[in-house]
Amino acid sequence: MSSYRIALNFEDGVTRFLDCRAGEKLLDAAYRNQINLPMDCSDGVCGTCKCRSETGTYDLGDDYIEDALTAGEAASRLVLTCQMRPTSDGIVSVPTRSSVCKTAQQKLATTVTRVTAHGDAAVVLELQMEGDCRPQFLPGQYINIDVPGSAASRSYSFTTAPGENHLGFLIRKLPVGLMSNWLSHAKPGDRVTATGPLGSFYLRDTERPLLFLAGGTGLAPFLSMLEVLVAKQSWQPVHLVYGVTKDEDLVLIDVLESYVDRLPDFSFTTVVADQGSKHPRKGWVTDHMPTGLLSGETDIYLCGPPPMVDAVRTWLSAHDISPNSFHYEKFTPNLTLKESA
């Protein structure tokens, strides 16, 4: 029997994946997977199970009343999970915390395979899942990695594609960072635990041109997105503007160059803020925005430190630019939390 992979993205950022059988209602599939989605009637009458379908196709039927789901709500992709029958893979946003639905983050057990330092700027951490586990996540999401030898954890975005046994992360190197200190002596074979996936910053349907804006190690989630676009053989134009503070902060340029060959219409621009730099493009990301992609036909994704994210949002507003959709994530070193929208 065929089935569809559905990602349930909860209000607290926790994501759980389940397989919904062809013809099966999403609410029933969730209960079968011991995820108690909100509901009162399960008959399309109360509207308690109302969620939003972010991506994918589905059949709602007509066995529900207008008070539970209006025509306008249905047109904006609101759904009743007690009536929704997915007809493709998809993502559904659940407007409540995962704990309310008696589910939680997944626990991951991994082993270090490689630690690669990129000067004093960043470290690439590569992990191997124990056993044949291949974690599912949405490209752009992150996990909380426990810092060995401490009770703390740090949040890092995946650089690799979902469903792989091998996981990669791009981590900013900090002089007094707890994770940076551990990475300085980490070696292959070390065991590392993590929880996730988490986050509402992830790649949606790719039906329009894409503009990616990365600041520093905010490059990480875009590498995961690019891997997925390559696998999908996407033909949409994709441009990445990658901004850093200093020359030495520009890392993984060879990886970005490889996507130029692997993705038909991908291009990227690098920018260095330091005015003393010898880099050909100096200034901020907003100084080098591609005018051809600043329209209502473009989906914009932005990831970087709070000042950069706020500056880009202000710039877009000041220039009266309204993309088709705008998704962003702020991150702060040494904090385990991220802000996404």
How many Å separate Cα 108 from the centre of its chain?
Answer: 18
The whole domain housing 64 covers 3-101
Could you tell me if residue 277 is inside a domain? yes
Q: Per-residue pLDDT averaged across 23-30, rounded?
A: 95
Is there a domain that residue 88 lies in? yes
Looking at residue 116, its pLDDT comes to 96
Quote the number of domains for the chain: 3
- Digit-coded pLDDT (tens) for 248-291: 999 999 999 999 999 999 999 999 999 999 999 999 999 999 98
Residues 162 and 64 in one domain: no
Domain assignment present for residue 295? The answer is yes
Specify if 203 maps to a domain. no
164 plus 89 within the same structural domain? no
Distance CA 9, CA 96 (A): 9
Question: pLDDT, tens digit, for every residue of 111-168?
Answer: 999 999 999 999 999 999 988 888 889 999 999 999 999 999 999 999 999 989 999 9
Same domain, 139 and 164: yes
Clarify whether residues 184 and 261 are in a common domain.
Answer: no
Measured from the Cβ of residue 321, the count of other Cβ atoms closer than 10 Å reads: 15
Residue 133 covered by a domain: yes
Q: Say yes or no to pLDDT of 83 above 80.
A: yes
Question: Is 325 found in the same domain as 224?
Answer: yes
Q: Are residues 189 and 220 in the same domain?
A: no
193 in a structural domain? yes
Q: Which residues contact 97 (CB under 8 A, 6 or more apart)?
A: 10, 11, 12, 14
Per-residue confidence (pLDDT) for residue 103, from 0 to 100? 83
Task: Using the predicted structure, report yes or no on whether residue 333 has a pLDDT greater than 70.
Answer: no
What is the average per-residue pLDDT within 323-330? Answer: 92
Q: Quick check: is 205 in a domain?
A: no
